[in-house]
């Protein structure tokens, strides 16, 4: 609100929204929560898949290196869930303390960290399955190809879009 002494006109110029810092924090927190919900659902499904593998009869046929990779993937799955839930735990711990912007910043950092762990987890799980099913170099090929697709879609494409958006804003 322009009449609010806490209102920063710089914020309006960034995205054209006329909202108070509290409104912006609420909106940003809701966006973080929506993204966490999407991430957490996928992580839970992947974790369930991994946990079920240990109870399959064929699990006994895994080599020691495959067991090591499997256990590493289990740790990554647990870590990604813990990190993705951390912003919610923080929100509960500091509820109604008037520090929502700090909670949003923490949520953003946790979400990015969770995305990195989930990225490694997804690529690792697929490479693990390729190793168990096909063996040989399939592990490395699937790992490299999926990592390349992930980097392209999660880093390169957003980078290109950011550069183009800055060019458009710069022309105005």
Per-residue pLDDT of the chain (172 residues), as tens digits, is 444 444 444 444 456 677 888 788 888 888 888 888 888 888 888 888 888 888 988 888 999 999 999 999 999 999 998 998 888 888 888 888 888 888 889 889 999 999 999 999 999 999 999 999 999 899 999 999 999 999 999 999 999 999 998 888 777 6
Residue ranges of domains in the chain: 9-171
Contacts of 50 (CB under 8 A, 6+ apart): 70, 73, 74, 77, 125
Contacts of 130 (CB under 8 A, 6+ apart): 138, 139, 141, 142
Q: Is the separation of the CB atoms in 111 and 35 below 8 Å? A: yes
Phi-psi region of 96 (alpha: psi -120 to 50; beta: other; left: phi over 0): left
Q: Which residue, 110, 97, 107, 114, is CA-closest to 27?
A: 107
Contacts of 58 (CB under 8 A, 6+ apart): none
* Residues 128/76/153/44 CA torsion (nearest 10 deg): 90
**How far is residue 106 from each of residues 77, 102, 141, measured CA to CA in Å?**
21, 6, 36
Paired tokens of 73: 């993937």
């Amino acid at each position: 609100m322009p009449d609010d002494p806490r209102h920063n006109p710089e914020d309006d110029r960034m995205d054209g929204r006329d909202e108070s810092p509290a409104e912006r924090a609420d909106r940003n927190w809701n966006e973080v929560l929506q993204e966490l919900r999407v991430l957490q659902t996928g992580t839970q499904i992947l974790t369930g898949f991994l946990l079920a593998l240990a109870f399959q009869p064929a699990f006994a046929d895994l080599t020691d290196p495959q067991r090591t990779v499997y256990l590493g993937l289990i740790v990554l799955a647990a870590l990604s869930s813990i990190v993705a839930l951390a912003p919610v735990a923080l929100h509960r711990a500091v509820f109604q303390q008037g520090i929502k912007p700090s909670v949003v910043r923490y949520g953003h950092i946790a979400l990015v960290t969770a995305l990195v762990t989930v990225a490694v987890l997804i690529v690792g799980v697929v490479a693990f399955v390729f190793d168990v099913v096909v063996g040989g170099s399939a592990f490395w090929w699937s790992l490299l190809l999926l990592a390349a697709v992930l980097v392209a879609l999660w880093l390169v494409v957003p980078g290109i879009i950011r550069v183009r958006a800055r060019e458009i804003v710069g022309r105005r």
